[in-house]
Amino acid sequence: MLRIIVITLTFAVLWSIRWFWFAGPNQALIENWVTGGAGIATYSAVRQVGFPNRYDLTLNNLRITDGDSQIFETDVLQIMRLAYRQDHFVLAVSNDIKIIGKNITTSQNRASIVNQKNDVQRVVWEANDIALDNGTTIKHGQLAIIVPPNGREITLYLQLSEIAQNGMVVHENAKLQVKLQLQSVPDTSTLAKFVTSLKTGFISAAISNPDDAEQMKQLTEFRNIGGTTSHFPVLATLFK
């Protein structure tokens, strides 16, 4: 029995040392990614908890701007990962956020970032009870973003359910796949560099529904960004 107690206490002490040993580098890694480079992001406070199995870093009043352009705002951003997994981050943000100056209200707002094989990055964002400034509501939304390590094409998968305008459901479900061709390879080493690489502009954006061509026809009559101005019968309300 004494041997078991000694082994258990030794393991607990070693694990505690390990947690605190990596806590500092984990916080530095995230803060450097957010604030490194051009310094487009600011926040008022940072705090890290989660002992013994997780690292939970909280940034308060996070603002991402580029000059006079407001890109993203949230009162709270939590970045969490398990202590034994360094390639998977879970993010949680406030129910009320701003994206490109537009207010978005949700009942649940979270995302995950996973580094997959061959350094492919997969970002998945999902939210429930989404309400936009223009009166559009969405019961559930999910956006997946695939960022390759070297290629110039970013792939987005968007799924929306119960899209309503002024209380009336205009579409039960919508699924879109968007392939964005960038002028340069996206740089995800810091937040500032990633935003800068997106600023270089899009060469093209191919939009489709790989599962249902007929639904795609109902959703929109265009295939490239240049034709979005007039033909967007269902989802146009999301961008007004």
Which of 48, 74, 100 is at the close of a domain? Answer: 100
Q: Of all helices (H) and strands (E), which one includes residue 127?
A: strand 121-132
Nearest residue to 78 (alpha-carbon basis) of 98, 104, 108:
108
Q: Are 136 and 150 found together in one domain?
A: yes
By residue count, the chain amounts to: 240
Q: Are 207 and 230 found together in one domain?
A: yes
Alpha carbon 80 to its chain's center: 13
Domain of residue 168: give its range: 106-240
Q: Are 94 and 111 found together in one domain?
A: no
DSSP class of residue 74 equals E
Which of 83, 100, 117 is at the close of a domain? Answer: 100
Q: Are 111 and 95 found together in one domain?
A: no
Q: Are 93 and 137 found together in one domain?
A: no
Which of 57, 80, 100 is at the close of a domain? Answer: 100
Q: Are 18 and 38 found together in one domain?
A: yes
CA distances from 50 to 1, 13, 80, 89, 197 (A): 30, 16, 9, 14, 34
Domain count, the chain: 2
pLDDT for residue 8:
67
Q: What is the pLDDT along the chain (240 residues), one digit of tens a residue?
A: 666 666 667 766 666 777 777 888 888 888 888 887 777 888 888 898 888 888 899 999 999 887 777 888 999 999 998 877 778 889 999 999 988 888 899 998 899 988 877 788 888 999 999 988 878 888 999 989 888 888 888 888 888 888 887 778 877 888 888 888 878 888 888 888 887 777 766 666 666 665 666 655 555 544 333 343 333 333 444 444
pLDDT for residue 208:
62
* Separation between Cα atoms, residue 233 and residue 135, nearest integer Å: 16
